Amino acid sequence: MTAQAGSASSSSTSLLDRQQLRRQMRQRRRALSPLERAEAHREFARILSNKSLLQPGRRVALYFAYGHEADLRHVIDLARRRRCLLYLPVITHFRHSRMRFVRYAADSVMRVNRYGIAEPDPRHAELISVRRLDLVLLPLVAFDARGWRLGSGAGYYDRSLHHLREGRRWRRPKLLGVGYECQRTTQLQPDRWDVPLDGILTERGLHYFKHSD
């Protein structure tokens, strides 16, 4: 990574509003070269290949990268080889930022949503309750050392995973944010609806967070 990309000296969100921080982090992400991104994407799969997260029969939700988000194509290939059951987010209501997770296989009937992202057609595939998922890999714009994630601002994941805010009594699914090291910031100020991550996967490794609750 370049020296700029590797820096973790971002200001706290107590000093920068979320939109300004999003612009800053997206600019950092765009500054990564195609080679740096490609190497990071291979590292995601290599790191997960040495963990026990992708086991046969595990119900794993992933995503198709949008814009310059961290890409999971190699992780998807790995999860298929490990015979995981894969699911993708499908937007069901744009105005109210609602989404569901839908089964994704090599022969799935796909459609393109208004953002230009391919998603399984829920009329031809299984919808799963989020509580039945074992693992969710989430995209992000920024993350901090406490496990807080700054997303795109639409709130799709926070609404879908709201049950995990209730004292984290529900232990499923496990939430892993996926991003580049250049998206690390010193401290995010969470909103009341934010859901903390269990861990973060970057090109430098997989790190788990400890939560007081």
Listed by start position, the domains of the chain span: 17-171
Q: What is the predicted pLDDT for the residue at 16?
A: 53
pTM of this prediction? Answer: 0.87
Q: What is the predicted pLDDT for the residue at 4?
A: 38
Residue 49 has pLDDT above 60, yes or no: yes
Instruction: Report pLDDT digits (tens) over 131-173.
Output: 999 999 999 999 999 999 999 877 789 888 877 766 555 567 9
Average pLDDT over residues 164-185: 83
Instruction: Report pLDDT digits (tens) over 91-122.
Output: 988 887 789 999 999 999 999 998 899 999 99
Residue closest to 143 by CA, chosen among 193, 191, 201? 201
CA distance 18 to 57: 38
Q: Which CATH superfamily is domain 17-171 in?
A: NagB/RpiA/CoA transferase-like (3.40.50.10420)
Residue 73 has pLDDT above 80, yes or no: yes
Torsion of CA 31, 35, 39, 41, to 10 degrees: 60
Which secondary-structure segment (H or E) carries 59? strand 59-61
CA distance 182 to 114: 28
Which is more confident, 22 or 14?
Answer: 22
Q: What is the predicted pLDDT for the residue at 172?
A: 76
